[in-house]
């Protein structure tokens, strides 16, 4: 197995840099990566301290630095040490600068500025947390997206991920013995999406959950026949109401959220031309 020291330098929180590194590393198998994370690098003194570690553990240096002096000094020091450097955003910002005929603003962390979008995202997170697991169903009309699914079908983590993208989300557990509140069937504003999964995968997830809580896995919660009945009931409910359906069996939370966003955008585009077009979305 290959071993890599990956140095991530950012003049802000480093969130963007970490996502880029994660996406790139996903393309390679059998690699043991040791990350060295350096956020808020905004002075030469800070860079000098970091270079000691970088040269001690040589590897790839990935950075997002807008200060030209610090960038130049980092590249010069790495070149002297024979280490490769990559500016993670230049491949996008340089063509943009040429197309827009504008100079880059050289302002660190500008994507995290406290603008209206930031406060909208905070409001979305607060709404989503307050409307988790069927809570405050009488306010679901204020949601943009409502997720429904049986227990452990990734409703809550998908909701939180979507909230971090700025969507107000509520989620509702589907339980055979306890039908959803009637309000769910009369919603007009939110997109309702049913999350389904294979019974075998659901049993595995539930059993792992019980074990993590030091509880016995020998319960109806993981009984194969019961779980299959739950999944059939949920799928029939989704189909009878014409709700969009996403199978999360082999999807990560990010992939599920991306599919939900695509459905939401498609629906919004249809509503521009036809305000009554709220259904008609095929399962994914």
Contact 233, 227 (CB under 8 A): no
Annotated ligand binding at 150? The verdict is yes
Q: Binding residue per annotation — 122?
A: no
Place of tokens 């049993």: 203
Q: Is 42 annotated as a binding residue?
A: no
Report the alpha-carbon distance of residue 68 to residue 74 in Å, rounded: 10
The response to whether 10 counts as a known ligand-binding position is no
Q: How far is CA 109 from the centre of its chain?
A: 20
Q: Check whether 272 is labelled as a binding-site residue.
A: no
Strands of 31-38's sheet, edge to edge?
A: 31-38, 2-10, 60-64, 85-87
Going by C-alpha positions, the residue among 122, 152, 156 that lies closest to residue 234 is: 152
Query: Which of 33, 37, 45 has the alpha carbon at shortest distance from 12?
Result: 37
Residue 155 annotated in ligand binding = yes
Pair type for strands 2-10 and 60-64: parallel
Rounded to the nearest 10 degrees, what angle do helices 155-164 and 116-130 cross at?
Answer: 160
153 annotated binding-site participant: yes
Task: Determine if residue 146 is labeled as part of a ligand binding site.
Answer: no
Binding residues for ADP: 149-156
Binding residues: 149-156
């Amino acid at each position: 197995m290959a071993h890599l020291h990956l140095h991530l330098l950012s003049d802000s929180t480093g969130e963007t840099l970490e996502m880029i590194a994660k996406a790139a590393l996903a393309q390679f198998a059998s690699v043991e990566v040791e990350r060295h994370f350096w956020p808020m690098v905004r002075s030469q003194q800070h860079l000098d301290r970091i270079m000691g570690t970088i040269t001690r553990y040589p590897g790839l240096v990935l950075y997002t630095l807008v200060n030209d002096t610090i960038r130049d000094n980092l590249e010069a020091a790495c070149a002297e040490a024979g280490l490769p450097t990559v500016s993670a955003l230049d491949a996008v910002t340089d063509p943009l600068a040429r197309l827009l005929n504008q100079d880059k603003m050289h302002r660190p962390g500008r994507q995290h500025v406290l603008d209206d979008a930031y406060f909208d995202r905070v409001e979305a997170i607060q709404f989503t947390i307050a409307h988790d697991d069927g809570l405050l169903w009488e306010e679901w009309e204020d949601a943009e997206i409502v997720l429904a699914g049986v227990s452990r079908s990734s409703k809550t983590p998908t909701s939180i991920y979507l909230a971090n993208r700025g969507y107000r989300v509520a989620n509702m557990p589907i339980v055979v013995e306890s039908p959803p509140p009637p309000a769910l069937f009369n919603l007009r504003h939110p997109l309702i999406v049913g999350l389904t999964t294979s019974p075998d995968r659901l049993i595995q997830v539930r059993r792992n959950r019980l074990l993590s809580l030091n509880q016995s896995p020998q319960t109806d919660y993981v009984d194969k026949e019961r779980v299959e009945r739950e999944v059939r009931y949920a799928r029939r409910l989704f189909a009878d109401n014409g709700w969009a359906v996403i199978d999360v069996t082999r999807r990560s939370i990010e992939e599920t959220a991306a599919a939900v966003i695509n459905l939401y955008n498609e629906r919004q585009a249809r509503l521009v031309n036809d305000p009554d077009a709220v259904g008609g979305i095929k399962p994914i």
